[in-house]
Amino acid sequence: MTVTTHTDVVAPRRPTVRFMLEHPAHGLAMGFGSGLSPWAPGTAGTLWAWLSFVLLAPWMSDTGWACLLLASTAVGWWACTLTAQHLGQSDPSAIVWDEIIAFWLVLWLVTPAGWVGQAVAFGLFRFFDAVKPGPVGWADRCFHGPEGQRPGAAQGWGIIWDDLVAAGCTLLVIALWRAWMA
Protein backbone atom coordinates (compact mmCIF):
# COMPACT_ATOMS: atom_id res chain seq x y z
CA MET A 1 0.00 0.00 0.00
CA THR A 2 1.38 3.40 -1.02
CA VAL A 3 0.85 6.33 1.30
CA THR A 4 0.64 9.74 -0.35
CA THR A 5 1.90 12.63 1.74
CA HIS A 6 1.33 16.34 1.20
CA THR A 7 4.82 16.61 -0.32
CA ASP A 8 3.94 14.07 -3.04
CA VAL A 9 0.98 16.02 -4.39
CA VAL A 10 1.49 19.36 -6.13
CA ALA A 11 -1.32 21.67 -7.20
CA PRO A 12 -0.99 22.39 -10.93
CA ARG A 13 0.21 25.88 -11.87
CA ARG A 14 -0.47 27.81 -15.04
CA PRO A 15 2.62 28.63 -17.15
CA THR A 16 3.06 32.37 -17.56
CA VAL A 17 5.85 34.75 -18.52
CA ARG A 18 6.38 35.41 -14.81
CA PHE A 19 6.68 31.68 -14.12
CA MET A 20 9.12 31.29 -17.02
CA LEU A 21 11.35 34.04 -15.62
CA GLU A 22 11.36 32.63 -12.06
CA HIS A 23 14.09 30.07 -12.81
CA PRO A 24 16.55 29.50 -15.70
CA ALA A 25 15.28 25.92 -16.05
CA HIS A 26 11.80 27.24 -16.78
CA GLY A 27 13.06 29.50 -19.58
CA LEU A 28 14.99 26.66 -21.18
CA ALA A 29 12.24 24.05 -20.81
CA MET A 30 9.68 26.48 -22.19
CA GLY A 31 11.79 27.19 -25.27
CA PHE A 32 12.64 30.76 -24.28
CA GLY A 33 8.94 31.64 -24.44
CA SER A 34 7.86 29.65 -27.48
CA GLY A 35 6.07 27.20 -25.16
CA LEU A 36 3.80 30.02 -24.00
CA SER A 37 2.10 30.15 -27.39
CA PRO A 38 -1.67 29.99 -26.82
CA TRP A 39 -2.00 27.98 -30.02
CA ALA A 40 -0.06 24.72 -30.50
CA PRO A 41 2.95 25.34 -28.23
CA GLY A 42 4.67 22.20 -29.55
CA THR A 43 4.47 23.58 -33.08
CA ALA A 44 5.76 26.95 -31.85
CA GLY A 45 8.69 25.21 -30.16
CA THR A 46 9.44 23.24 -33.31
CA LEU A 47 9.39 26.45 -35.36
CA TRP A 48 11.79 28.01 -32.82
CA ALA A 49 14.04 24.96 -33.28
CA TRP A 50 13.96 25.39 -37.06
CA LEU A 51 14.78 29.10 -36.89
CA SER A 52 17.60 28.60 -34.39
CA PHE A 53 18.99 25.71 -36.47
CA VAL A 54 19.10 27.92 -39.58
CA LEU A 55 20.86 30.67 -37.60
CA LEU A 56 23.38 28.30 -35.95
CA ALA A 57 24.11 26.04 -38.94
CA PRO A 58 26.74 28.23 -40.63
CA TRP A 59 28.94 28.05 -37.51
CA MET A 60 28.36 24.43 -36.53
CA SER A 61 30.27 21.32 -37.53
CA ASP A 62 28.97 17.77 -37.12
CA THR A 63 30.98 17.53 -33.91
CA GLY A 64 29.47 20.80 -32.72
CA TRP A 65 25.93 19.57 -33.39
CA ALA A 66 26.62 16.25 -31.67
CA CYS A 67 28.00 18.03 -28.60
CA LEU A 68 25.14 20.55 -28.56
CA LEU A 69 22.55 17.79 -28.81
CA LEU A 70 24.15 15.71 -26.04
CA ALA A 71 24.50 18.70 -23.73
CA SER A 72 20.99 19.97 -24.59
CA THR A 73 19.53 16.56 -23.80
CA ALA A 74 21.30 16.28 -20.44
CA VAL A 75 20.56 19.85 -19.35
CA GLY A 76 17.08 19.61 -20.87
CA TRP A 77 16.28 16.51 -18.82
CA TRP A 78 17.05 18.47 -15.67
CA ALA A 79 15.18 21.58 -16.87
CA CYS A 80 12.12 19.65 -18.04
CA THR A 81 11.98 17.67 -14.79
CA LEU A 82 12.26 20.76 -12.60
CA THR A 83 9.76 22.75 -14.67
CA ALA A 84 7.25 19.89 -14.65
CA GLN A 85 7.66 19.65 -10.87
CA HIS A 86 7.11 23.39 -10.44
CA LEU A 87 4.07 23.28 -12.73
CA GLY A 88 2.73 20.19 -10.94
CA GLN A 89 2.15 18.30 -14.21
CA SER A 90 3.92 15.26 -15.66
CA ASP A 91 4.09 16.59 -19.24
CA PRO A 92 2.92 20.22 -19.52
CA SER A 93 2.32 21.47 -23.06
CA ALA A 94 4.34 24.62 -22.28
CA ILE A 95 7.50 22.50 -22.03
CA VAL A 96 8.85 22.45 -25.59
CA TRP A 97 12.58 21.83 -25.10
CA ASP A 98 11.86 18.24 -26.11
CA GLU A 99 10.58 19.38 -29.51
CA ILE A 100 13.57 21.67 -29.93
CA ILE A 101 16.28 19.07 -29.38
CA ALA A 102 14.40 16.39 -31.32
CA PHE A 103 13.89 18.65 -34.33
CA TRP A 104 17.51 19.86 -34.20
CA LEU A 105 18.45 16.17 -34.46
CA VAL A 106 16.17 15.71 -37.48
CA LEU A 107 17.48 18.80 -39.25
CA TRP A 108 21.10 17.93 -38.52
CA LEU A 109 20.69 14.45 -39.98
CA VAL A 110 18.72 15.51 -43.09
CA THR A 111 21.14 18.33 -43.94
CA PRO A 112 21.90 19.38 -46.69
CA ALA A 113 18.15 19.29 -47.33
CA GLY A 114 16.79 22.50 -48.82
CA TRP A 115 13.76 24.42 -47.60
CA VAL A 116 11.31 21.95 -49.13
CA GLY A 117 13.06 18.99 -47.54
CA GLN A 118 13.17 20.78 -44.20
CA ALA A 119 9.46 21.64 -44.49
CA VAL A 120 8.65 17.99 -45.19
CA ALA A 121 10.75 17.00 -42.15
CA PHE A 122 8.85 19.61 -40.10
CA GLY A 123 5.47 18.22 -41.20
CA LEU A 124 6.48 14.62 -40.55
CA PHE A 125 7.92 15.43 -37.14
CA ARG A 126 4.82 17.40 -36.10
CA PHE A 127 2.63 14.50 -37.29
CA PHE A 128 4.56 11.93 -35.26
CA ASP A 129 4.78 14.19 -32.20
CA ALA A 130 1.11 15.28 -32.18
CA VAL A 131 -0.65 12.10 -33.33
CA LYS A 132 1.77 9.71 -31.58
CA PRO A 133 1.20 6.66 -33.77
CA GLY A 134 2.74 3.28 -32.89
CA PRO A 135 6.14 3.56 -31.25
CA VAL A 136 5.68 7.25 -30.39
CA GLY A 137 2.51 6.48 -28.42
CA TRP A 138 4.32 3.64 -26.66
CA ALA A 139 7.22 5.96 -25.79
CA ASP A 140 4.78 8.59 -24.51
CA ARG A 141 3.20 6.08 -22.10
CA CYS A 142 6.51 4.66 -20.80
CA PHE A 143 7.31 7.26 -18.15
CA HIS A 144 4.00 8.82 -17.11
CA GLY A 145 3.47 8.84 -13.37
CA PRO A 146 0.14 8.93 -11.55
CA GLU A 147 -1.84 12.12 -12.17
CA GLY A 148 -1.46 14.61 -9.36
CA GLN A 149 1.77 13.08 -8.08
CA ARG A 150 4.95 15.17 -8.12
CA PRO A 151 6.84 14.42 -11.36
CA GLY A 152 10.30 12.95 -10.93
CA ALA A 153 13.33 12.29 -13.10
CA ALA A 154 11.54 9.46 -14.93
CA GLN A 155 8.74 11.81 -16.02
CA GLY A 156 11.35 14.43 -16.99
CA TRP A 157 13.03 11.86 -19.21
CA GLY A 158 9.64 10.80 -20.58
CA ILE A 159 8.98 14.37 -21.73
CA ILE A 160 12.08 14.10 -23.95
CA TRP A 161 11.88 10.39 -24.82
CA ASP A 162 8.72 10.40 -26.94
CA ASP A 163 10.01 13.32 -29.02
CA LEU A 164 13.27 11.50 -29.68
CA VAL A 165 11.22 8.51 -30.85
CA ALA A 166 9.14 10.89 -33.04
CA ALA A 167 12.43 12.18 -34.49
CA GLY A 168 13.54 8.61 -35.16
CA CYS A 169 10.27 7.84 -36.95
CA THR A 170 10.62 11.03 -39.00
CA LEU A 171 14.16 10.09 -40.00
CA LEU A 172 13.08 6.53 -40.86
CA VAL A 173 10.33 7.77 -43.20
CA ILE A 174 12.75 10.19 -44.88
CA ALA A 175 15.41 7.46 -45.26
CA LEU A 176 12.86 5.04 -46.76
CA TRP A 177 11.60 7.72 -49.14
CA ARG A 178 15.18 8.58 -50.22
CA ALA A 179 15.96 4.85 -50.74
CA TRP A 180 12.79 4.39 -52.78
CA MET A 181 13.64 7.44 -54.94
CA ALA A 182 17.22 6.27 -55.58
Is 0.95 surpassed by the pTM of this model?
A: no
Nearest alpha carbon to residue 99 among 145, 37, 18, 152: 37
Could you tell me if residue 60 is inside a domain?
yes
pLDDT tens digits for range 25-54? 999 999 999 999 999 999 999 999 999 999
- Residue span of the structural domain in which 144 resides: 17-181
149 pLDDT tier (thresholds 50, 70, 90): confident
Residue bearing the bigger pLDDT, 97 or 12: 97
Could you tell me if residue 28 is inside a domain?
yes
| Average pLDDT for 116-137 | 97
| Average pLDDT for 134-154 | 87
**Residue 110 clears pLDDT 50, i.e. is over it:** yes
Cβ-in-10-Å burial (0-12, 13-18, 19+) of 78 comes to middle
Could you tell me if residue 153 is inside a domain?
yes
Q: Which residues contact 179 (CB under 8 A, 6 or more apart)?
A: none
Number of domains, the chain = 1
Could you tell me if residue 46 is inside a domain?
yes
Could you tell me if residue 11 is inside a domain?
no
For all residues of the chain together, what is the average pLDDT? 93
Could you tell me if residue 3 is inside a domain?
no
Could you tell me if residue 47 is inside a domain?
yes
Could you tell me if residue 9 is inside a domain?
no
Decide: helix, strand or coil at residue 15: coil
Decide: helix, strand or coil at residue 9: strand
pLDDT tens digits for range 5-27? 445 556 788 999 999 999 999 99
